[in-house]
């Protein structure tokens, strides 16, 4: 009803403006007072009077009759002065009434003129500057004075102009992808929207948009909630506006169930509310209700058949949904990505994501085909190269994988090094992989993860001396502070780092035959680990366990070292058994350590029993889909060699000469022989390096 009123007023103002421009007389509009006679005086008449006055003023005082006229004027002035004194009070009263009348009429007239100009500008407004000018004219009109009807129209026009300005800012702010200058647009919109609702406290659209902008900043979300509640209160008779307001309120609620209830209510009021469908889809997905979420996603896609970004975002989120990403969902995502590829055939993103999914599905050839399409569309797509290289590697075509890694280095050097080094490790070319890791470490000298990976590679390449140097340097960089020097969380991080570094250095020292030094590292690592567990396990149930690898390696050293004063069979049994319990007695090399510990105590019957359990566990591991046949065979050979020793009632002894091991490795064509050691470092080095 209100909008019709201002349209009629606008039409009337246009008529007023037209008549004013043609000089025709008319009745006043918007409460304008009638024009006074002085204001309607003909311009030519005014010029004539001016000239006459000028002529009289120019007459000489010495002209005939001039003196007599001056005397007469003087007498008249004296009489008039006396009369003025007698009627002074009456004149003052009359003058005041006339001034009051003029004050009442003139501001209203000027305010109406500004309002008329604002309405005219409204119909021709093309820029944000025009909209700001309309608001200023309305403010000027209100300041100068308007009657009740005009005041209502001025407030309405100003409020709508401010809303229109802010809607333009909203289109840029909430676009997909979002404009990089969105913060500027938001800063321009919010104060104008606040003024908009001041001018018109019933402007529901302004309240909704204001809340939407405020909701973007956590610090202003309380204001956003207050404004959206006002919008909901005002929009009870407008189902579409009520639906929009409920969507905004759902975004502001932390309680998922309450937010979902608002979204359901929003769709009840307006089933076509696209934002409600979109937001409800994400909410359902977060609650692991994939099928229900997909229905809302499908509605979104059907409503926006050309929305490429929406399909890509949904596909990526679903792909990263973990166990929810089952075969059925994967097929739906492939369909979504095919639609996206149809919308933008020049983008390689859909095919790249499809390649990732095919790799997850153990379909390396499909992954290669999809990644190849992505690369053909966009040769500078690093992710597609990484995926295709991984797919080639999975198929066993390491040369093709290495070729992709070299191509990747031209686009992203560090990623290229990382990918190429992994492929080289799979090829067993540890020396070349070490070169790549040294290059990466030189580029990022403070990256301790790279340093540790390099150290593990040195171990795998039978160069434990180099690994020891790296671990020692990292330990010097991570000295444990006193309890009062650092907060407890910081100390815990350093304790964790030192535990890992000491464990790894102990393994490297075990490989060099430095058994006394290795034992010292293991002792310190175990002590630090126990202290760390004690500090973090308060109130935690079940209690966290010790590091099984550290326990196993320490036990292996205590059971097999050739140095008599270091061996401790009983302690080795305890440590190895605890390690086996943690790994549920499924790791063959840990069962082998238990056997070696019993053999050290002279209980060869128990040693044979445990080595046979190790052989059974190794056979079970070989039956798994991800088993590496070569690794299973090497482990079996090692266990059989140990069994033979125990059957001869001979305890097992750790070998001490790394040079001899390297020579043996070279003679066997780079093939590891794990019969000499069952420590976790020897078992896992190449795997960890990858």
Contacts of 543 (CB under 8 A, 6+ apart): 533, 537
Q: How confident is the model at residue 29 (pLDDT cuts 50, 70, 90)?
A: very low
The rounded mean pLDDT for the chain is 82
Instruction: Collect all residues with Cβ–Cβ distance below 8 Å to 595 and sequence separation of at least 6.
Output: 606, 607, 608, 609, 610, 611, 614, 642, 646
Q: What digits encode the pLDDT tens for the residues 289-314? A: 999 999 999 999 999 999 999 999 99
- What residues have CB less than 8 Å from 347, skipping those under 6 apart? 308, 340, 341, 377, 378
Last residue of a domain, one of 182, 201, 220: 201
Residue 45's H or E segment, with its range, is helix 43-58
User: Which of 151, 182, 201 is at the close of a domain?
Assistant: 201
The answer to whether residues 470 and 451 touch, using CB atoms and an 8 Å cutoff, is: yes
Distances (CA, A) of 92 to 84, 87, 366: 10, 9, 101
pLDDT at 8 over 60: no
In the chain, the N- to C-terminal Cα span, in Å, equals 73
Assess if residue 370 is contained within a domain: no
**Which domain does 547 fall in, by range?**
493-689
Smallest CA-to-CA distance from 197 within 144, 159, 237, 156 is with 159
**Mean pLDDT of all residues in 667-680:** 48
Angle among Cα 327, 328, 331 to the nearest 5 degrees reads 85
CB 183 within 8 A of CB 197: no
Backbone angles phi, psi at 141, to 5 degrees: -60, -45
Task: Tell me which of 158, 181, 201 is where a domain ends.
Answer: 201
Number of domains in the chain: 2
301 lies in a domain?
A: no
Cα separation, 216 vs 230, whole angstroms: 18
Mean pLDDT, residues 495-516: 94
Angle at 645 between CA 643 and CA 651, to 5 degrees: 110
Q: How far apart are CA 443 and CA 272, in angstroms?
A: 54
Return phi, psi of residue 528, to 5°: -65, -40
291 in any annotated domain: no
> DSSP E strands: which ranges in 433-546?
none
Read off the CATH number of the domain in which 504 is found.
1.25.40.10
DSSP 341-410: HHH-TT-SHHHHHHHHHHHHTT-HHHHHHHHHHHHHH-S--HHHHHHHHHHHHHHT-HHHHHHHHHHHHH
Express each pLDDT in 308-331 by its tens digit.
999 999 999 999 888 888 889 999
Instruction: Specify burial of residue 23 (Cβ count, 10 A radius: 0-12, 13-18, 19+).
Output: exposed
What's the pLDDT tens digit per position in 33-85? 333 333 333 333 334 444 444 444 444 344 434 444 444 444 444 444 444 44
Q: Is residue 307 part of a domain?
A: no
Which stretches of 53-135 are assigned E, i.e. beta strand?
none
State the pLDDT at residue 55: 40
Checking if the pLDDT of 21 tops 50, the result is no
> Which tops the pLDDT comparison, 36 or 518?
518
pLDDT of residue 677 exceeding 70, the answer is no
pLDDT tens-digit map of 581-608:
999 999 999 999 999 999 999 999 999 9
pLDDT at site 54: 41
Between these two residues, 519 and 690, which has the higher pLDDT value?
A: 519
More confident residue, 446 or 1: 446
For 438-489, strand residue ranges (E) read none
Element counts in the chain: helices (H) and strands (E):
32, 0
Q: How far apart are CA 519 and CA 557, in angstroms?
A: 7
Asked whether residue 673 is assigned to any structural domain, the reply reads yes
Task: Please write the tens of the pLDDT for every residue from 535-586.
Answer: 887 766 677 889 999 999 999 999 999 999 999 999 999 999 999 999 999 9
Angle at 686 between CA 685 and CA 690, to 5 degrees: 115
To the nearest whole percent, how much of the chain has pLDDT over 70?
Answer: 78
Say which residues have a Cβ less than 8 Å from residue 571's Cβ, sequence separation at least 6: 555, 558
- Confirm whether 568 is domain-assigned: yes
Domain-located, residue 249: no
- Judge if the upstream peptide bond of residue 186 is cis by omega within 30 degrees of 0: no
From the CB of residue 568, how many other CB atoms can be counted at a distance below 10 Å?
Answer: 20
The verdict on residue 423 lying in a domain is no
- For the cut 50, the answer to whether the pLDDT of residue 17 exceeds it is no
pLDDT computed for residue 167 by the predictor: 94
Per-residue confidence (pLDDT) for residue 62, from 0 to 100: 42
Q: Which has the higher per-residue pLDDT, 38 or 376?
A: 376
The pLDDT score that the predictor gives to residue 551 is: 96
589: exposed, middle or buried (C-beta count within 10 Å: 0-12, 13-18, 19+)? buried
Contacts of 507 (CB under 8 A, 6+ apart): 459, 518, 553, 679, 680, 681, 682
- pLDDT of 106 reads 47
């Amino acid at each position: 009803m209100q909008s019709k009123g201002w349209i009629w007023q606008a039409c009337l103002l246009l008529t007023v403006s037209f008549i004013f421009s043609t000089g025709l007389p008319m009745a006043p509009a918007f409460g304008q007072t009638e024009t006074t006679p002085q204001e309607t005086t003909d311009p030519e008449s005014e010029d004539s009077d001016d000239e006459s006055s000028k002529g009289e003023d120019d007459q000489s005082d010495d002209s005939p009759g001039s003196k007599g006229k001056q005397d007469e004027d003087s007498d008249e002035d004296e009489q008039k002065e006396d009369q003025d004194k007698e009627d002074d009070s009456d004149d003052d009263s009359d003058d005041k009434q006339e001034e009051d009348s003029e004050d009442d009429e003139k501001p209203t007239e000027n305010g109406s003129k500004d309002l008329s100009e604002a309405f005219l500008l409204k119909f021709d407004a093309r820029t944000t500057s025009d909209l700001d000018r309309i608001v200023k004219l309305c403010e000027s009109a209100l300041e100068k004075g308007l009657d009740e009807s005009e005041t209502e129209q001025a407030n309405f026009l100003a409020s709508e102009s401010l809303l229109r300005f802010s809607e333009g800012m909203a289109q840029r702010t909430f676009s997909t992808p979002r404009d990089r200058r969105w913060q500027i647009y938001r800063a321009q919109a919010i104060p104008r929207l606040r003024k908009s609702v001041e001018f018109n406290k019933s402007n529901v659209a302004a309240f909704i948009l204001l809340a939407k902008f405020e909701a973007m900043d956590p610090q202003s979300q309380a204001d956003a909630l207050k404004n959206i509640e006002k919008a909901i209160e005002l929009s009870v008779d407008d189902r579409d506006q009520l639906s929009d307001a409920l969507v905004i309120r759902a975004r502001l609620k932390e309680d998922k169930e309450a937010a979902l209830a608002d979204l359901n209510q929003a769709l009840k009021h307006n089933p076509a509310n696209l934002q409600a469908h979109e937001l409800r889809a994400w909410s359902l997905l977060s609650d692991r209700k994939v099928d229900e979420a997909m229905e809302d996603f499908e509605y979104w896609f059907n409503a926006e058949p050309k929305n490429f970004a929406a399909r890509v975002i949904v596909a990526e989120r679903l792909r990263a949904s973990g166990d929810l990403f089952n075969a059925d969902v994967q097929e739906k995502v492939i369909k979504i990505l095919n639609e996206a590829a149809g919308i933008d055939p020049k983008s390689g993103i859909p095919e790249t994501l499809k390649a990732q999914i095919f790799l997850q599905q153990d379909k390396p050839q499909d992954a290669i085909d999809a990644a190849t399409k992505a690369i053909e569309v966009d040769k500078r797509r690093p992710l597609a190269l990484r995926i295709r290289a991984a797919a080639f590697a999975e198929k066993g075509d390491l040369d093709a994988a290495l070729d992709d890694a070299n191509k990747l280095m031209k686009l992203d050097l560090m990623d290229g090094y990382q990918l190429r080094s992994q492929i080289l490790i799979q090829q067993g070319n540890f020396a070349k992989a070490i070169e790549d890791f040294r290059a990466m470490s030189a580029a990022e000298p403070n990256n301790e993860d790279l340093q540790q990976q390099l150290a593990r590679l040195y171990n795998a390449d039978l160069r434990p001396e180099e690994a020891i140097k790296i671990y020692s340097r990292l330990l010097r960089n991570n000295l444990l502070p006193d309890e009062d020097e650092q907060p407890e969380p910081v100390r815990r991080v350093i304790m964790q780092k030192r535990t890992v570094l000491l464990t790894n250095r102990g393994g490297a020292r075990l490989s060099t035959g430095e058994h006394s030094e290795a034992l010292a590292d293991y002792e310190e690592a175990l002590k630090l680990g126990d202290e760390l567990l004690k500090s973090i396990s308060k109130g935690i149930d079940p209690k966290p366990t010790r590091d099984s690898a550290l326990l196993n390696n320490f036990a292996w050293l205590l059971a097999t070292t050739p140095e008599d004063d270091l061996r401790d069979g009983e302690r080795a049994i305890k440590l190895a058994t605890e390690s086996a319990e943690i790994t549920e007695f499924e790791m063959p090399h840990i069962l082998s350590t238990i056997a070696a510990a019993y053999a050290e105590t002279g209980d060869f019957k128990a040693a044979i029993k445990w080595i046979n359990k190790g052989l059974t566990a190794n056979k079970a591991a070989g039956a798994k889909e991800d088993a590496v046949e070569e690794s299973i065979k090497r482990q079996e050979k090692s266990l059989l060699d140990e069994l033979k020793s125990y059957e001869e009632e001979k305890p097992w002894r750790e070998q001490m000469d790394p040079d001899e091991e390297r020579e043996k490795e070279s003679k066997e064509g780079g093939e590891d022989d794990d019969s000499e050691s069952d420590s976790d470092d020897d078992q896992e080095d190449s795997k960890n390096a990858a």
